Amino acid sequence: MNGPQDLGGQMGFGPILPEANEPVFHAGWEKRAFGVTLAASATGAWNIDEGRHARESLHPADYYSSSYYEIWLKGLESLLERHGFVSADELKAGRMLSKGAVPKRVLKAADVAAGLARGGPCDRPVAAPARFKPGDRVRTRNFHPKEHTRLPRYARGRSGTIEAVRGGFVFPDSNAHGRGENPQWLYTVVFDGREIWGEGSDPTLTVSIDAWESYLEPA
């Protein structure tokens, strides 16, 4: 979706502000928000793509005025409500009012290390052969779905070159909406800076994205 998350090429956000001391977390609540989000996602009720979509679905004014872990927390609250685990009344009351949906599983402390080390690989076999090969010229489709996609706006309707075929990967555009993993071939596509940004672009610049096959057409 053309949401507030799709930031590539936007202007006006000011200088980048590296910190001198760089704490991993900047407040006690940030680390709880981080840990609770990962622990809750381990229930398996939603996948990473649905999680990303929950965050990008925040109102743009809310997204841009929220800190990073605020965005995480607001996304988590909406996922928990959507899946029947927590109600809006409970979030307001700050305590359980009724039991709610039962999770498939609950992450125990003893399983954290192994679970994090395992992660969630999302490569999958694809039955059909890859449509493109390295060196092929392709054009990204120009679409503006209201649902989740991982094709950024700046890279739509642009010509580039396939650099690598990365294998089959879960397709986020369907997986985010409970319509299955539908794995597709994934390609690294390289664009000349001028193809994307036009006149005035740094002549040495190339930008690449990792694009699913259905994002691409032969150029």
Report the DSSP pairing between strands 216-218 and 159-169.
unpaired
Beta strands in 20-148 (DSSP E): 137-140
Size of the site for other proteins (CB under 8 A): 92
Q: Which of 81, 90, 181, 195 binds other proteins (CB under 8 A)?
A: 90
3-class SS at 217? strand
Q: Rule CB under 8 A: which of 121-150 touch other proteins? A: 121-123, 150
CA-CA distance, 55 to 79, in Å (whole number)?
A: 9
Q: Rule CB under 8 A: which of 11-50 touch other proteins? A: 11, 13-19, 22, 24-29, 31-36, 38-40, 42-43
The distance of closest approach from Cβ of residue 214 to other proteins in the complex, given in angstroms and rounded to an integer, is: 13
Residue 183 sits in the site that holds other proteins (CB under 8 A)? no
Q: Which of 20, 61, 88, 95 binds other proteins (CB under 8 A)?
A: 95
Residue 113 sits in the site that holds other proteins (CB under 8 A)? yes
Rg of the chain on CA atoms, in Å: 20
**CA-closest candidate to residue 150, choices 114, 124, 180, 187:** 187
User: Which lies closer to other proteins via its Cβ, residue 9 or residue 180?
Assistant: 9
